[in-house]
Structure 1
Amino acid sequence: MMTFGSLMWVTGRSSRQHWWLVQLGCMVILALLFFSLLPSDGWDGLTQPRGQLRLDEGTSPVLPLTSMADFLRNFGFYSSPLSWVLFVSHIRRYHDRNKSGWWSLVAVIPVIGGLWQLIELGFLPGNPDKNNYGPPPGAVRLPAGFDQELDELEEKAGGLAKVDDAYLANYAQKFAASQQQELAIAGPATASSGPRAFGKRR
C-alpha cells in the first residue's frame, strides 16, 4: 500500500511493486513538467538570446543570456520533491534487501552503478521475513497483546506445534475481532452504571 510515509520517510521497507510504481509515476510527472516549462517555440526558444550582459567596457566580450538558465532553474526547483521521493524509494528498497540505504550511492558510478541498481532494486526479491529494517511490506499488524497470547499458546503446545504464517494471520484477526466485541459489549454497560469514585469498586 502506497502511503505518504512510504514516499517521504526513509525508515521501513518497500516492495518491488512499490518501487516500480514510484519510478514510473515520477518519470511521467517529470516528462509533463519538462514539456510544460518549454517556451511556446519549443527547444529552439531556449537557445535564442533574450538579452545581453555587459561587464566593464573593454574587459570582456558580450555574454548572451538565454532562457535556458530560467528553464533549468525552474525545472530543478519543481522537480526537487520528486528527486527526494525517488531517493527515498531507493533507500527503502535496499532496506527490503536487508542492506543499508548507503548502497543507493552506487548509482554515482557511471553506467555500471545505475545498471546494478536497476537489477538489484527492480528485479531481485526482498527478504520474506522480518529483517534489520522491520517486517516485510504489507505484513499484518498484530494487535496489542497478541505477542503475549502467542507465547501462552506456544507454552501450552510445549513447543511441539509449528504455527505457520496463515495461522498467525487468522489468529490475529480473530483476536482483534474478539477485543472489539468485548469493547462493544462493555461500552453500554459502563455508560449505564454511572460514574465511579476513583479507586472504589462496585
Structure 2
Amino acid sequence: MSRHSKPTRRRFVSILLAPYRRYFEFSGRSRRKEYWLYILTFYVLMFVLVFVDSALGLGGTTETALDTTDGLRASANAEGGVLTAIWGIGNIIPLIACAVRRLHDTDRSGWWVLISLIPLIGSIWLLVLMCLDGTQGSNRFGPDPKDRLGRSAEAVFE
C-alpha cells in the first residue's frame, strides 16, 4: 500500500459522507463528484436493501423470469419492504439538499429541482443540469468548491 492511498481513501470517504454532514444545508455549492457519488451510493444501497427485505421476509418481493424457448423474454420485479422504506425516507432531505447545492454550483436557483415534476421532460432536463460543470470561481451561492487554495478566481488574477 502506497503512502498516498490513505489520504486518498480518507478524501473519498469524506466526499461520500458530505451529504450526511450537510443534511439540512440548502445553501452553498456541491461538486458533481459529491452529488453523483451520493446518488450512486443511495441507489446501490436501495438495491441491496430490496433483496435484504425479501430475504428477511420484511415485505419485499423479488421476481425474475427468463423465457428463451419461444423467443427472448425477460421480466424483473422488485419491491422494497421496511428497510428500503426507512432508507428512502431517511434520505429524502439529503437528496433534495444535495440537488439544490448542485444546482447552486451551476449558478441556478434550487427551485429548479421542481422541474422534475414535469413528466419525462422535466426529469431529463434536471439530469442535464446535474451533469453540467459548475461555474468557475465564486458565484452568488458561495465560493467554488473545486478551489483547493481557498481563493476566488478573481483574486488569483489580481
What's the TM-score bracket when you normalise by the shorter of the two chains?
0.5 to 0.7
User: Larger strand proportion, structure 1 or 2?
Assistant: 2
Name the CA shift for 1:40/1:77 in 2 (closer, same or farther; >3 Å): closer
Structure 2: which amino acid aligns with 1:92? R
Q: CA deviation at 1:82?
A: 2.1
Structure 2 CA distance for aligned equivalents of residues 103 and 89 of structure 1: 13
Corresponding residue of 1:91: 100
Q: CA deviation at 1:76?
A: 2.2
Q: Using structure 1 for the length normalisation, give the TM-score.
A: 0.51
Describe how 1:19-38 pairs up with structure 2 within 5 A: 19-38=35-54
Structure 1 CA distance for aligned equivalents of residues 94 and 38 of structure 2: 8
Describe how 1:1-202 pairs up with structure 2 within 5 A: 2=15, 3=18, 4-39=20-55, 43=61, 72=81, 74-122=83-131, 124-139=132-147, 140-141=149-150, 165=156
CA deviations on 1:34-68 (whole Å, 9 max, x unpaired) are 111115687379xxxxxxxxxxxxxxxxxxxxxxx
Structure 2 CA distance for aligned equivalents of residues 44 and 17 of structure 1: 32
Q: Residue 91 of structure 1 contacts residue 100 of structure 1 at CA under 8 Å; is this kept in 2?
A: yes
Structure 2 CA distance for aligned equivalents of residues 84 and 18 of structure 1: 16
Q: Which runs of 4+ in 1 moved over 4 A?
A: 39-42, 71-74
Once superposed, what is the RMSD of the aligned Cα atoms? Answer: 2.9
- Mind listing any 5+ residue stretches in structure 2 that lack a counterpart? 1-13, 64-79
Structure 2: which amino acid aligns with 1:106? I
Structure 1: which amino acid aligns with 2:138? K
Structure 2 CA distance for aligned equivalents of residues 22 and 44 of structure 1: 25
- Mind listing any 5+ residue stretches in structure 1 that lack a counterpart? 46-70, 143-162, 169-202
CA deviations on 1:79-120 (whole Å, 9 max, x unpaired) are 212232221111001100111111101111111111111111
Considering only CA atoms, is the larger Rg found in Structure 1 or Structure 2? 1
Structure 2 CA distance for aligned equivalents of residues 35 and 88 of structure 1: 28
